[in-house]
Structure 1
Amino acid sequence: MDLVLDVADWYVLTPYVYPSSWAEEGALRQLLSLLLLTNLGATVLYLGLGALSYYCVYDHTLMKHPHFLQNQVRREITYAMTSLPWISLPTVALFFAEVRGYSKLYDNVSDHPLGWTGFFLSVVSFLLFTDGCIYWIHRFLHHKSIYKLFHKPHHIWKVPTPFASHAFHPVDGFMQGLPYHLYPFLFPLHKVLYLALYVFVNIWTISIHDGDYRVPGPLKGLVNGSAHHTDHHLFFDYNYGQYFTLWDRLGGSYRHPSALMGKGPLDLIRRLQREAKGNQQSEAKGNQQSEAKGNQQSEAKGNQQSEAKGNQHTHKEE
């Protein structure tokens, strides 16, 4: 995070914000700057990537699902934007520790004993470490003693949109994000790679809420994509994983996605639409039959009246 702080100091904070008497290395200034940058970055990533996914990827047909709430998108955004500042407070404490040099973040690839090999292995180990940690944190948040207090607010959105991705209770949001920040205190990680992975994490979090169930065939059983996470929102006790299905399989919480079996939210919507269309057609057919029957009855009645009137004229002439 010190790379972001250095850029912000050079171009904005030092020349335009802080008085010259406030040294860039000052703890108070760094804390205030990190608080500003963390909230600004989280907001830009959430709203920017969320909007991109919502307008370019998300299938808006899902908004016709019976479980889709009234004004849900606005409510998701409001909840997320209310929670993000609170989530940022403990997050800034971790960023501050990184900036002060307590982490294992490094500047140059040559600083790692394994060089480029270590650089790329960091990506794999980061994904595996955070995936395992988040699985157990997420599963813990489903424990009945704390679920209603911390995690249930995120499950209000049974059929989520990309904007539900960050709509967490602050404690829930921080706990599930904690492994990302703990990793560089435990393992060496390049500073630029850390920032790239941080952005990737936000993209992934949005993507598993976007309703796009496409996954390459061989990876469907391995990657915990949107189809898997959709079932988590619908059925609660399955598919706790973040990136992979490994821990769900080991923990007995894996559920093959309903959407991949033709039983997902979109399939329900299509079935309801077909039923509604069939009912409309049946109703229209019934109305036509009733109208035709009414016309026949009116015609018959008119014929009877004409015949009776003709008979009256005949009797009168006689």
Structure 2
Amino acid sequence: MIWYLAELLGLIQIDRNIKQYEYQTHPSYAGNFIRFGLDGIVGEYVSTVCQTFLFALALYFTLSCSSYYYFFKKNKELYLPKLNAKFYIFYDIKWSIINMFFETFLVSIIRVAQPRFSLMYYNISDYGYWYIPISIILHIIFDETLTYWVHRWLHTYGYLYIKLHRIHHFSKDITPFSGFAFHPLDAFAQAVPLFTSCFLFPIHMNLFLFFGLCTTSWAISIHDNVPALPLKFLLYSTHHTIHHEPGLGGMKNFGKFTSIWDRIMGTYEEPDRINFGWKQQQQQLNKLKKVNDFYESILPSDLNKIQKKQ
């Protein structure tokens, strides 16, 4: 909205008619999806709600069912032979559907507002290829920062945890179906950074959609308990397994994609003690040891190490 105010004050010039046309001709445009005979922005909003919900539903069940079948059924003896727990799969599916349905109405308001008020753009030529990596970095910084603090506040303040976030932590032993099992307001609060970065700086529509797909895929993958790519720069599945542990585990590893804020704020916990019987887990860690050691030397997981260096 800062940029929109600057536009109103005449500090920057954006042709909203062109932006609206580019938005309506983009393949992702939901305005012609399902309208129920409604015209104008109301019809566009209804179409966006329907498209967002149905796409989220299809993506959730495709990814979660595939991951669950692969890791928990077909290859359980390879990846998770020691994981014998009581899973609340139907509970997670129920809350995932509730979450997707109600959150969709909130998310769609932002989606409809994007072409009208944000700096979303649709042609790479508007800013050039050189700007793409800059926008990626800016988005990750914005998304990681807000998501970390929202997630941490949901655990810090008892009222927020009990009323909202406890739904997600009902499952102490997680499965891919847990990835979307949130109270809708909880999920929306953590999704806001993804949908609002374009109001602060220009971001290409395709890049925005890519980040949305990454967020969905990541939410499923960090609940499978298998550290397939144990790069310590990332917060991968066993980091999140710790986060779901009863007690102090829930006060660790709050980040979204990366471990940066957890390391800076002292809420990081190493995930290596979590191994449900995957024999190649240590081999994967050994392959990435130099990369992880280099990252550790730059941003130690223990704040005391930083103080000692100083």
Larger Rg over CA atoms: 1
Other-structure match for 1:225: 236
Other-structure match for 1:141: 154
- Does residue 1:106 correspond to 2:106, yes or no? no
Using the alignment, how far apart are the partners of 2:137 and 2:169 within structure 1? 30
Structure 1 gaps of 5+ residues are: 268-318
Using the alignment, how far apart are the partners of 1:175 and 1:233 within structure 2? 19
Displacement of 1:67 in angstroms is 4.8
Amino acid at match of 2:117: Y
Other-structure match for 1:36: 50
- Cα 1:155/1:67, change in 2 over 3 Å: farther
Report the RMSD for the aligned CA atoms in angstroms: 2.3
Displacement of 1:5 in angstroms is 5.2
Amino acid at match of 1:81: I
Q: Is the 8 A contact 2:31 2:44 kept in 1?
A: no
Displacement of 1:54 in angstroms is 1.5
Amino acid at match of 2:136: V
- Does residue 1:178 correspond to 2:192, yes or no? yes
Amino acid at match of 1:68: K
Other-structure match for 1:244: 258
Displacement of 1:166 in angstroms is 0.3
Using the alignment, how far apart are the partners of 1:151 and 1:63 within structure 2? 30
Using the alignment, how far apart are the partners of 1:119 and 1:37 within structure 2? 27
What TM-score, normalized by structure 2, do the two folds share?
A: 0.73
Residues 31-89 of structure 1: CA distance to partner in whole angstroms, max 9, x if unpaired? Answer: 111111111111111111111222224564659746534xx112211111122111111
**2:138 aligned residue (125, 130, 146):** 125
- Does residue 1:266 correspond to 2:276, yes or no? yes
Structure 2 gaps of 5+ residues are: 1-22, 278-310
Using the alignment, how far apart are the partners of 2:197 and 2:243 within structure 1? 26
- Cα 1:50/1:178, change in 2 over 3 Å: same
Q: Is the 8 A contact 2:68 2:224 kept in 1?
A: yes
Structure 1 or 2: larger helix share? 1
What TM-score, normalized by structure 1, do the two folds share?
A: 0.72
* Count of paired positions: 247
Other-structure match for 2:206: 192
Using the alignment, how far apart are the partners of 1:207 and 1:8 within structure 2? 31
Q: Is the 8 A contact 1:240 1:253 kept in 2?
A: yes
Using the alignment, how far apart are the partners of 1:64 and 1:231 within structure 2? 16
- Cα 1:189/1:45, change in 2 over 3 Å: same
- Does residue 1:89 correspond to 2:100, yes or no? no
Using the alignment, how far apart are the partners of 1:4 and 1:89 within structure 2? 21
Identity of counterpart residues, as a percentage? 30
Amino acid at match of 2:189: M
Other-structure match for 2:164: 150
How do residues 294-305 of structure 1 correspond to structure 2 at under 5 angstroms? none
